Amino acid sequence: MNVRIGWLGIALSLLAPSASAQTSWRLASGYSDSSFHTVNLREFASDVSRVTNGKVVIEVRSNNTLLKLADVRKAVGEGTVESGEVILTGVSKEFPIAGADAVPFVVGSMTDAERLWKLQKPALEKQLGAKGLVLLYSVPWPSQGLYSTRPIMKKIDFSGSKMRTYNPTTIRIAELLGATPVDVPMLQVADALSNGRMDSMISSAVTGVENKVWSHLKYFYEINAWTPKNAVIVNATAFAKLSSAEQTALRDAAKRAEIRGWQMSRLAAQEAVQTLRSNGVKVESMPPNLEREFTRLGERFSREWIREAGAQASEIFTSFFLKLPSSASDTATSVAHATGSASYSATARP
């Protein structure tokens, strides 16, 4: 009898889950190994392994080797892969709050972008959670600047120019500024410049360096048109299978990755601007006349986004604008009157 009981105990112990069982996840990313986003992802994965004593292992699969960027959100939601990196502007149709990243001429600095993210994050977490996704962290790309073959001081200077466009928003910006929109993929920018098909574009300093645009585009204005962000998401079912301690460790590592990633983005922008300067590009801040024009465009695009995204969008921009200088507060009031939103009324001031 004792022998039988002993064998039964051994059998049950083999069937029971091991306390030291390892959880292995794959994290899909569409960006190259050289991207600071990917470098940060790998640091995050290493951190998670360290703080969980190897119980949670994340394999970062970058450069579209596991999934194309456009397929990551669906795959994570379905559980085909446990986690992945998306660009928020790419999922804004499904998750409207993510669209705050694409509203131009609202965020004027990386500090503004951080504050907008703190306001945007809780609502986005709820929208993601409703679709079985957990948000871990978000990191921005460097802000978008204006490149030109000639000096640009005011709106009229765009008249007769040809601006590179790549989505509906950039097409509208070009048209509202009086420029002719020209659809040019980034890989074809050098050819388009040499052939005279385009003479201006809105893009980051980092992208300009990657494409060595200085042979034709001699001016770069730091207009901070918008600051798009990437986000790392996890399948909620996969996350729930982790122990409470492992979930806490994962979230703590994500907090560190977010802080580190924002610092990396700032540094990437600074280094890219210096590279532009060293290659003969004249880097300047936004001219006052142009700033006024862009502020008006920001008001217009803000109103449109609020109408599309709803009350939560109104609440986010209310808090964002009313804590900026008086000119931005006037923008908030202007948007309030245009949308008829109670949360944008003057009485909503804190």
Residues 153-187 pLDDT 10s: 999 999 999 999 988 889 999 999 999 999 998 88
Q: Widest CA span of the chain, in angstroms?
A: 96
Distance from C-alpha of 118 to C-alpha of 320, rounded to nearest angstrom: 10
Is the per-residue pLDDT at 330 higher than 70?
Answer: no
CATH code for the part of the protein at 144-223+281-300: 3.40.190.10
Q: Which residue has the higher pLDDT, 243 or 340?
A: 243
3-state secondary structure of 63: coil
- The answer to whether 170 and 181 have CB atoms below 8 angstroms apart is yes
DSSP codes joined into one string, 67-107: S-GGGHHHHHHHTSSSEEEEEGGGGTTTSGGGGGGG-TTS-
Summarize pLDDT for 288-320 with one digit per residue, the tens.
Answer: 999 999 999 999 999 999 999 999 999 999 999
Is the per-residue pLDDT at 337 higher than 50?
Answer: no
DSSP 340: T
Summarize pLDDT for 215-250 with one digit per residue, the tens.
Answer: 999 999 999 999 999 999 999 999 999 999 999 999
Q: Which residue has the higher pLDDT, 328 or 162?
A: 162
Token couple for 248: 């806490």
Distance from C-alpha of 171 to C-alpha of 301, rounded to nearest angstrom: 13
Is the per-residue pLDDT at 342 higher than 50?
Answer: no
Q: Dihedral of the CA atoms 320, 256, 231, 147 (nearest 10)?
A: 70
- The answer to whether 317 and 332 have CB atoms below 8 angstroms apart is yes
Q: Which CATH number fits domain 22-96+106-140+228-276: 3.40.190.170, 3.40.50.300, 3.30.365.10, 1.10.1740.10?
A: 3.40.190.170
Summarize pLDDT for 250-277 with one digit per residue, the tens.
Answer: 999 999 999 999 999 999 999 999 999 9
Contacts of 142 by beta carbon, 8 Å cutoff, 6+ apart: 204, 205, 206, 227, 265, 266, 268, 269, 272
pLDDT the model gives residue 335? 47
pTM for the full predicted model: 0.84
Summarize pLDDT for 19-50 with one digit per residue, the tens.
Answer: 457 999 999 999 999 999 999 999 999 999 99
Of 8-12, 169-173, 279-283, 292-296, least confident by mean pLDDT is 8-12
Contacts of 111 by beta carbon, 8 Å cutoff, 6+ apart: none
Same fold, 22-96+106-140+228-276 and 144-223+281-300: yes
State the pLDDT confidence band at 71, using cuts at 50, 70 and 90: very high
Token couple for 338: 């245009």
pLDDT the model gives residue 6? 54
Is the per-residue pLDDT at 87 higher than 90?
Answer: yes
Distance from C-alpha of 88 to C-alpha of 140, rounded to nearest angstrom: 10
Of the chain, the percentage scoring pLDDT greater than 70 comes to 87
Dihedral-angle region of residue 41 (phi above 0 means left; psi in -120 to 50 means alpha; beta otherwise): alpha
Distance from C-alpha of 97 to C-alpha of 308, rounded to nearest angstrom: 10
State the pLDDT confidence band at 321, using cuts at 50, 70 and 90: confident
pLDDT the model gives residue 186? 83
Is the per-residue pLDDT at 327 higher than 70?
Answer: no
Mean pLDDT of the chain: 88
Domain ranges across the chain: 22-96+106-140+228-276, 144-223+281-300, 310-350
Distance from C-alpha of 116 to C-alpha of 317, rounded to nearest angstrom: 8
